Structure 1
Amino acid sequence: MQIQGKAAIVSGGAGGLGEATVRRLVADGARVVIADLAEDRGAKLAADLGDQAVFVRTDVTDEASVAAAVAAAQELGELRVSVCAHAGPVAQQRILARDGSPMPQELFDRTLRIYLSGTFNLLRQAAAAMAAHDPMDSGVRGLIVNTASIAAFEGQVGQADYSAAKGGVVGLGLVAARDLSATGIRVVTVAPGTFYTPAFQLDEDSAQEAWGKHVPFPKRMGRADEYADLVSFLVGNDYVNGETIRIDGAQRFGLK
């Protein structure tokens, strides 16, 4: 699929994996909506990219907010690519605390709202916009990339909410691809391992020392531009559909 002059939307586009993806899609010729809650970072990134990108403050858990971001993308051109790369708070608690009390249900529900329901909210609305366009030369109408995690497969202690949410994103991928196959919309899930992003709130050297050594090879954390490179590849290869692709340096999470 060729995206020169077409529109894209990236949730979580103001930082980390999302920012790298926005920059790569712009470099590939797309015009991009940066859909995020981080107004300062989003506005700065849009200013850096000129008329190739706009920032739209977006809450992925809110139907009207996502609808506004999708509409903004449609104003930039035909929406052909949607990338769900947003992040949010997680519980980081065991199901039972040391005193025997259970994890608060609200913490579990909050994580699912952001990571799973938020992903579906963007997927369904972006798909509706893509389906209204004529197919491109290859017959494809668009590509939706959802972001899971290798925690979907090897959840660690204290990750019940996050692993469940990301496991749901993995489970959504194939059925969404099948649901949308009649419209010519592809759905691919990317499951990153340990990537260095600002969310670590550490300088990169310290983060690499703490987490990079656990990756078999390359023995380092992933770089955001490597995730963006994969998205760019997926845009260009119409035969990749309904798949979950791990990008993790052969890492497999252990117990902790």
Structure 2
Amino acid sequence: MKLDGCTAVVTGGASGLGEATARALAAEGVKVAIFDLNAEKGEALAREIGGASFTVDITSDTSVDEGFAQARATLGQERILVNCAGRGNTFKTAQRDRESGAISHFPIDQFEKIVLLNLVGTFRCIAKSAAGMMTLDPLNEDGERGVIVSTASVAAVDGQAGQAAYASSKAGIVGLTLPIARDLRREGIRVNAILPGIMDTPLFATAKPELRKQLGDSVPFPRRLGHAEEFASLAVEMCRNSYFNGEHVRLDGAIRM
């Protein structure tokens, strides 16, 4: 798909993987709308890359509807959606305190929050963006109208202790990818997902050097944390390559956690 001149929406676009993706798309001549709760960072980045920023909570139907309406009025209907908004938490399903012996379980409201953000929020943006893309004329003889890229995680297939909410929400994104690609096949809208490993994002910015080294050394090759720009490069290629459809791809340096 020819990217130059297209409009993209990047959720979670003010920092981390989303910021790198917004920058990479803008470098390809794409008009980028940033959806993020951090208005200050989003607006600063938008000014830098010549895009626009909107304060959007992807767990809210109203907020997402308003965000898309504002972005489309400002930059035009998007042909590209990259879903980077999300977060994790760490609780064991049930556990016993080593000192007191007290038994506790995963706070159910915290499980729900992660699933509503990572999985339902991602699907909310996909469904609303796809409906908008369907109003566009095809770009080429294949009938291509647009492309959607979502962020899952290696935890989707290799979740660790304490990651029940995060891993299941990211596994849901993997599970969505192929059915949605098939749902939208007649409309010329492609759907893919990236499963990043341990990436050097703001989450690890304040981590102790010894922890960062330990995490980097756990990666077979290259022995380091992944760069956000490497994620962005793959996201851009998924947008550009018209035969890339219905795929979920690891980006993890061969780590199997």
* Amino acid in structure 1 at the alignment position of 2:47: A
Alpha carbons 2:54, 2:71 under 8 Å: kept: no
Which residue number in structure 2 is paired with residue 47 of structure 1? 47
Shift of 1:100: 2.3
1:103 aligns with 2:106: yes
Alpha carbons 1:10, 1:85 under 8 Å: kept: yes
Gaps of 5+ in 2: 97-101
Alignment partner of 2:59 out of 53, 57, 61? 61
Partner Cα separation in structure 2 for residue 82 and residue 197 of structure 1: 20
Partner Cα separation in structure 2 for residue 94 and residue 105 of structure 1: 11
Which residue number in structure 1 is paired with residue 31 of structure 2? 31
Shift of 1:208: 3.3
Gaps of 5+ in 1: none
Partner Cα separation in structure 2 for residue 168 and residue 152 of structure 1: 8
Which residue number in structure 2 is paired with residue 177 of structure 1? 181
Alpha carbons 1:7, 1:80 under 8 Å: kept: yes
Alpha carbons 1:4, 1:29 under 8 Å: kept: yes
Shift of 1:6: 1.4
1:152 aligns with 2:156: yes
Shift of 1:78: 3.4
Alpha carbons 1:34, 1:46 under 8 Å: kept: yes
Partner Cα separation in structure 2 for residue 204 and residue 4 of structure 1: 41
* Amino acid in structure 2 at the alignment position of 1:112: V
1:134 aligns with 2:137: yes
Identical pairs, percent: 41
When normalised by structure 1's length, the TM-score is 0.94
When normalised by structure 2's length, the TM-score is 0.94
Which residue number in structure 2 is paired with residue 115 of structure 1? 118
Alignment partner of 1:73 out of 71, 74, 78? 71
Shift of 1:206: 5.2
Closer, same or farther: CA 9–204 of 1 in aligned 2, 3 Å: farther
Shift of 1:205: 5.1
* Amino acid in structure 1 at the alignment position of 2:72: Q
Partner Cα separation in structure 2 for residue 204 and residue 141 of structure 1: 45
Partner Cα separation in structure 1 for residue 245 and residue 184 of structure 2: 11
Q: CA RMSD in A?
A: 1.4
Shift of 1:204: 8.8
Alpha carbons 2:10, 2:22 under 8 Å: kept: yes
Partner Cα separation in structure 2 for residue 78 and residue 204 of structure 1: 43
